[in-house]
Amino acid sequence: MYARTATASLAAAALLGAGALLLIPHSQATDSGTDTAAGARTDTSTEKVIRTVVNTRAIPTPGAPVVLAHRGASAYAPENTLAAVDRANHLGFDWVENDVQRTKDGVLVVIHDTDLKRTTNVEKVFPKRAPWAVKDFTAAEIARLDAGSWFAARYAGTRIPTLAQYLDRIERNDQNLLLELKSPQTYPGIEKETLRVLRQKGWLNPGHVRYRLVIQSFSAGSIKKVHQQRPDVTTGFLGTPAVADLKAYAAFTDQINPSYASISSRYVAAAHALKGAHGRKLRVNTWTVDDAATARKVDGFHVDGIITNTPEMVRRATD
């Protein structure tokens, strides 16, 4: 979802007769309250609901794929940091994707790589701690690391956020979350722990579950655990199962989220022909699309969402 102008948004609200109400796509709501897909399309005027908002976010072009900011707006700010979330917010993007892992002392933190080398100064701060795996450091140790200088000098001193801090920020920004459970085989029980933090921060209440949260993973077993523990939560499988296997996946997930290089219009149509765990069409969000030609190509496949490091470019290409 993306912003146009405050005037356009307020005009839409005025048409509803309530100054702070805007329309959002049906993809972010459901009459059952349990089937919300980040990557759903807006096909007709009937597939809309009213949502109370405190900003002037706008209605996307009907039929356009939802644009999801990968690790925040990670082409413009250090990935998986609060700065990247804020940058996505400034650009007008509601949906952000991030990764969650667990520290040595059991704190959930937002970072993609399973080691700290690429995006922090860990080798300088802790030179004798190779291979610098996230799981081998405490939350206090990770909090000492600079997670911004590698990207640009102006981000020096940026920290790796905890999941709790991350949730607070996207709540403040009124953004939505596509949350990846990263390498769950490394972190037994991370599904339950992630759900606990989400619950503590209010992200498992009906409003968030309906409109604002999707949990995904490359591990089918991990997604099954989430679905078993919180069957109301929308889930996504990261990968490209064979068409013959899609029906089995649809029993426990709502989205199939594949790499753009692995799909075709026929594959997307096969997914859309099935109903997911909440009885609605399987959605397809594809990643990671960072050029206009690819954005237009997958839009032609009728994907529901595009996950990208460069959300502005994808927005222009598919608008």
Is there a contact between 166 and 98 (Cβ–Cβ < 8 Å)? yes
* Nearest-angstrom CA–CA distance, 300 and 307: 15
Q: Is 26 a catalytic residue?
A: no
DSSP state for residue 260 in the 8-state scheme: G
Is there a contact between 236 and 255 (Cβ–Cβ < 8 Å)? yes
The tokens for 292 are: 């206009």
Task: Give the dihedral sign, CA 292/235/301/66.
Answer: negative
Residue 194, classed as helix, strand or coil, is helix
* Nearest-angstrom CA–CA distance, 22 and 247: 35
Among the options 26, 112, 227, 278, which is catalytic?
Answer: 112
Q: The tokens 């990935």 sit on which residue?
A: 79
Among the options 26, 70, 208, 278, which is catalytic?
Answer: 70
CA-based nearest residue to 165, from 95, 213, 109: 109
Q: 148 pairs with which residues across the strands?
A: none
Is there a contact between 103 and 134 (Cβ–Cβ < 8 Å)? yes
Q: Is 70 a catalytic residue?
A: yes
Long-range Cβ contact pairs of 224-231 (< 8 A, separation 24 or more): 224/252, 225/191, 225/192, 226/181, 226/191, 226/195, 227/252, 227/253, 227/277, 228/252, 229/191, 229/192, 229/195, 230/195, 230/204, 231/34, 231/277
User: 3-state DSSP helix/strand/coil percent for the chain, to nearest 5?
Assistant: 35, 20, 45
Catalytic center residues: 70, 112
